[in-house]
Structure 1
Amino acid sequence: MEHPRCEAIRLEDVLHALSDPMRMRVVRTLAEETCELSCSVFDLPISRSTTTHHFRVLRECGVIHQIYRGTAKMNVLRRADLDALFPGLLDSVLAAATLQEGRGGDRG
């Protein structure tokens, strides 16, 4: 699996990745954890192929890092890279998503 180098991560790609409610759900879950999570942990109300697509978008945009551990594909948020490149962005987006959910505006 290819991952962009830190210096190749672009703001518009990250914002695109975060613009989808299902991908935001994945990012929010990963942000709450300090360990890697397998794809099977995420209970998304979409097909398996669509879930795979969303994980690929997040990986290719530089939001997550994926690695195989045996047969499981593990995921971790690239928080350090994103914070270094775009200070405060991830925390702001996560806080806004939490506020939106509290208003009943969460579509994912």
Structure 2
Amino acid sequence: MEITLSPEDLEAVKRNKREIERRFNDLKGLERTLKELKLEYLREHRDRLKKKLEEMRKLYEEMTEFERKARRDKELLMVFRKELSEENRKLRKELGDRI
């Protein structure tokens, strides 16, 4: 098992070395230390998951907004295409009438 500590945590371990050694010398202290480590791990894991969830929510909102804009743009282009087609039809008819 490997434990990675931040520089701040390492300093805290050094400051509390005697307390930590005393805890490791008795079973209850060891259990308490393990529970604290487990809780800290679970808190960090929860925080990472919350952050990931928030990122996913933001990306989902951006994606749905993009889809709405794409649909609106498509509708506008279809209207423009129809108008252009009508104009072309009228111009062809005018040219055909002149010939």
**Does the alignment reach a TM-score above 0.5?**
no
Q: Select the structure with the greater relative contact order (CA < 8 A; seq sep ≥ 6).
A: 1
Larger radius of gyration: 2
Q: TM-score, normalised by structure 1?
A: 0.28
Q: Going by fraction, where is strand more abundant, 1 or 2?
A: 1
TM-score, normalising length: structure 2: 0.30
More helix by share: 2
